[in-house]
Chains A and B, each alone.
Chain A
Amino acid sequence: MKRILIWLVSTVAALVLLLNYRTSTMGPAALAHPGEYVAGTTGAGPGTGTATGSVIDTKYGPVQVEVTVEHGVIAGARVLKYPTGSSKDEEINSYALPILLNRTVGEDAVQPQVDMVSGATYTSEAYRDSLQSALDEAMR
């Protein structure tokens, strides 16, 4: 469990570091919920806990992340410390925010609203049954 948490912490740290533009221009105060980008589950049980990663010094500045795990899946992540103000990380972080895993449990889990769907190359037949097709059709 501990090893998994450490892995998660380092991975999440790297993603936040690379992708969170707001860290550069707005600073910590502007982020109401800086780490709430992982869909969660509820309830307690085995494989549940919170881990705080050590401060990692990166070329963009120090990063520290706290990860909460419930039932063995990521329930949440909070950024405790991240780079501020450097032009380098602003440049790198300008294109995208973190990848948000939809680790919800159960078939009836609510899917987030999206604008487009990225997937393996569609054939015409596969496209008809895809979420992208549903998105396109919904606008007709």
Chain B
Amino acid sequence: MRAPQGQATPSGAADTWRAVEQLMGMPVSVALRGRHAGSLQGRRTWQEAVAFLRTVDADYSPFRQDSWVTRVDRGEEVTAAPATLALDPAEVLGRAAAAKSATGGAFDVWRTGADGRRHFDPSGVVKGLAVQRAAVILQQLPDTDVCLNGGGDVSCWMARPHGAGAEEWRIGVEDPFSPSRLLAHIPVRRGAVATSGLAHRGAHVRDARTGLPPRHLAAVTVVADDLVDADVAATCALALDSDGPQWLRDRDLTALVVRRDGSAELIGARPS
């Protein structure tokens, strides 16, 4: 992927500035609207967000021999490392513990690998936290709307969400069976849309209790006010497979579930 070359758009949303960068093993796309769309300060702040994500990648990559995650996985002494990390490991592990508890163990950062050994991989939490934090960096730009997409998980921000003439960010939900089609779209003022599914990477989500990939669900999209919550919930629901939709309902989450038979179901809050 090339270096970001964002510029003012020629058509459509005329005041939107965009850039894309390969970070943490995924494309991260940004869109800015308003005062700092394409301004020097806007570009500098984007570079700041990019630098932050690179740092998180170095700390948390399971593919880097010297990362904190790799050292934890090897069982090394890592208690000294946390203070130097861009993302607080206590927050990462806390979020992971909450997700494990909420799913009865279906979501777990410790998983049994093909070698029969327990492996540490908190990327299901780290990715969302990192993108959310990078979005917050961009949200400091005054009078500027921010939309940040980290590998399909999107964080939306409007500087004045209820101002006159304010336009929502429009987030398309990809069809897991036909990635060039959109299954749905969601207007978002401030909030997050995260999708977990079988498209693109094959069966990268597995139920940590059984080690099995989902057999009934193809994709789960969750809308929430926080990207980590949305991301973890989407992953959890997918890992829980046939129990996923009820799990989402029980938590009053807003979601779109696509089954492997092609049927789609909207899930909202239960009327009380």
Residues of chain A at the chain B interface (Cβ within 8 Å): 10-15, 17-19, 21, 25, 56-59, 63, 94-102, 111-124, 126-127, 129-133, 135-136, 138-140
Question: Contact: A131 with B188, CB < 8 Å?
Answer: no
Docked CA distance A14–B252 (Å): 10
Query: B70 contacts the other chain (Cβ, under 8 Å)?
Result: no
Q: Do B201 and A120 touch (CB < 8 A)?
A: yes
- Structural contact, A139 and B254, CB atoms closer than 8 A: no
Cβ of A10: which chain B residues have Cβ within 8 Å of it?
Answer: 271
Q: Are B186 and A99 in contact (CB under 8 A)?
A: yes
Q: How far is the CA of A96 from the CA of B193 in the complex (A)?
A: 10
Known: A14-B271, A119-B173. 13 other contacts (CB 8 A): A11-B268, A96-B254, A99-B173, A99-B186, A111-B181, A116-B29, A116-B31, A116-B171, A119-B199, A120-B197, A132-B27, A132-B149, A136-B20
Determine the distance from Cα of A130 to Cα of B149 in the docked complex, in whole angstroms: 13
Contact B152 A113, beta carbon cutoff 8 Å: no
Known pairs A121-B201, A129-B180; A63 contacts B189 (CB<8 A): no
User: Quick check: B7 and A94 within 8 Å, CB to CB?
Assistant: no
Given contacts A25-B162, A124-B22, contact A14 B171 (CB under 8 A): no
Inter-chain contact A127/B188, CB cutoff 8 Å: no
Other-chain contact of B172, A96, A114, A139, A140 (Cβ < 8 Å): A114
Q: How far, in angstroms, from A63 to B225 measured CA to CA in the complex? A: 23
Q: In this complex, what residue of B is CB-closest to A15?
A: B268
Q: Are B7 and A63 in contact (CB under 8 A)?
A: no
Q: How far is the CA of A117 from the CA of B171 in the complex (A)?
A: 6
CB distance from B12 to the nearest CB of A (A): 6
Asked whether B108 is an interface residue with its Cβ less than 8 Å from the other chain, the reply is no
Spell out B's residues near A (CB within 8 Å). Answer: 1, 5-7, 9, 12-13, 16-18, 20, 22, 26-27, 29, 31, 127, 147, 149, 151-154, 161-162, 168-174, 176, 179-191, 193-201, 204, 219, 221, 223-225, 252, 254, 256, 264-272
13 pairs from A and B in contact (CB 8 Å cutoff): A18-B252, A18-B268, A56-B271, A94-B190, A96-B168, A99-B185, A99-B223, A100-B185, A100-B187, A111-B172, A114-B185, A124-B1, A139-B7
- Are B174 and A94 interface neighbours, CB within 8 A? no
Q: Which residue of A lies closest to B8 (CB)?
A: A139
A contact residues around B162 at 8 Å (CB): 21, 25, 94
Closest residue on chain A to residue B204 by CB atoms:
A121
Q: Measured between alpha carbons, how far is A102 from B22 in the docked complex, in Å?
A: 30
Asked if B271 contacts A136 (CB within 8 A), the reply is no
Closest beta carbon of chain B to A112's beta carbon, Å: 5
B45 to chain A minimum Cβ distance, whole angstroms, is 18
- Given A131-B174, A131-B179, A140-B5, A116-B271 contact (CB < 8 Å): no
Q: A102, B200: Cβ atoms under 8 Å?
A: no
Chain B residues in 8 Å Cβ range of A118? 149, 152-154, 171-174, 193-195, 221
